[in-house]
């Protein structure tokens, strides 16, 4: 393998992973305190709108994926999404824990919705919300099934229910924050459960083209599970095809934060990079980062 690109030709746009705030109504044991709590103040809506204005002037079509924390608990979240649509953001995704009223999700003017299904909380109520929303919206949805090792019976039952209702989903191993952030702690799973996870193919469209071969495509989540995600030393278009905005406005090239801070977009010290970055991580562990164009420059005859 010498190259990965997005199936959807995202090389010609910029995807913004935007953590609009740390506030969350969950407190999952594996989620780091650096990105969530239940007390941080919400970012002022005028700062958020001003940031949208800056993003749409980056020179390429902008796709925004809202995350957190839990983005939907922001009191002005629907207003923010409507503003994005008004000023011409080309594509809008929301990643949510699914705990808001069903009507809320159905009324969002978005292009894609990702539910993260967490089993330390009331996952059955969220499952009901997911299935209800799936049946009554025009935009596609997808579910990240967070496979906590202590709840594997419920994880498997949820996967079966999602399959029965034709809800696209992937099974995600949990990355524990007290350990190395670069790896997933597979030792927490018993052998049968880990084998089930690793053999469970994503029930959604593959989004990564391998070595420019449209007949060789995989979903980013499967690339991670199969340990095909060692790109250390490769060039990556993080920063050219993606940006990550932290809850405080600090910007990085992608969720991996390789290359360091690019400044703060909330206080106008952000500068967009113009060149690819060399990967320095042992593993690329975020499904949002995997489809970014990556090239093993040591393979003769390849280029970004």
Nearest C-alpha neighbor of 252 from the set 19, 8, 5: 19
Mean pLDDT value across residues 221-238 = 94
Mean pLDDT value across residues 81-97 = 97
pLDDT value for 301: 54
Within 13 Å, how many C-alpha atoms sit on residue 301's CB side?
Answer: 1
Q: How far is CA 102 from the centre of its chain?
A: 22
pLDDT value for 178: 54
pLDDT value for 303: 46
- Alpha-carbon distances, residue 169 vs 70, 136, 159, 200, 205 (angstroms): 20, 18, 8, 10, 10
Share of the chain above pLDDT 90, in %: 89
pLDDT value for 159: 98
Mean pLDDT value across residues 232-246 = 97
Confidence bin at 182 (pLDDT 50/70/90): low
Mean pLDDT value across residues 24-42 = 92
pLDDT value for 46: 98
Confidence bin at 32 (pLDDT 50/70/90): confident
Confidence bin at 288 (pLDDT 50/70/90): very high
Fold of 3-295: TIM Barrel (3.20.20)
pLDDT at 268 over 80: yes
- Write out pLDDT tens, residues 55-76: 999 999 999 999 999 999 999 9
pLDDT at 177 over 80: no
CA–CA separation, 276 and 195 (whole Å): 36
Give residue limits of the domains in the chain. 3-295
- Write out pLDDT tens, residues 193-205: 999 999 999 999 9
């Amino acid at each position: 393998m010498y190259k990965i690109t997005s199936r959807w030709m995202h090389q010609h746009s910029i995807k913004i992973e935007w953590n609009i705030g740390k506030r969350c109504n969950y407190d999952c044991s594996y989620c780091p305190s650096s990105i969530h709590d239940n007390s941080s103040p919400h970012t002022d809506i005028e700062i958020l709108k001003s940031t949208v204005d800056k993003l749409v002037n980056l020179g390429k079509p902008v796709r925004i994926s809202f995350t957190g924390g839990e983005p939907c608990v922001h009191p002005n979240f629907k207003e923010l999404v409507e503003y994005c649509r008004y000023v011409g953001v080309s594509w809008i995704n929301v990643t949510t824990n699914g705990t808001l009223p069903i009507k809320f999700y159905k009324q969002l003017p978005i292009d894609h919705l990702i539910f993260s299904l967490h089993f330390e909380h009331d996952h059955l109520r969220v499952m009901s919300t997911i299935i209800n929303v799936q049946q009554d919206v025009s935009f596609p949805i997808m579910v990240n099934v967070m496979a906590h090792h202590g709840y594997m019976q419920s994880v498997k039952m949820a996967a079966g229910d999602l399959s029965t209702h034709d809800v696209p989903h992937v099974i995600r191993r949990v990355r524990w924050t007290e350990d190395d952030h670069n790896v997933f702690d597979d030792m927490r799973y018993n052998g049968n459960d880990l084998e089930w996870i690793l053999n469970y193919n994503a029930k959604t469209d593959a989004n990564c083209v391998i070595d420019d071969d449209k007949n060789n495509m995989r979903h980013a989540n499967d690339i991670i599970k199969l340990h095909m995600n060692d790109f250390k030393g490769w060039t990556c278009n993080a920063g050219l095809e993606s940006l990550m905005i932290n809850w405080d406005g600090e910007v990085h090239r992608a969720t991996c934060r390789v290359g360091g801070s690019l400044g703060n977009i909330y206080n106008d010290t952000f500068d967009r990079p113009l060149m690819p970055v060399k990967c320095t991580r042992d593993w690329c562990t975020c499904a949002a980062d995997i489809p970014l164009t990556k090239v093993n420059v040591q393979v003769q005859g390849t280029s970004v």
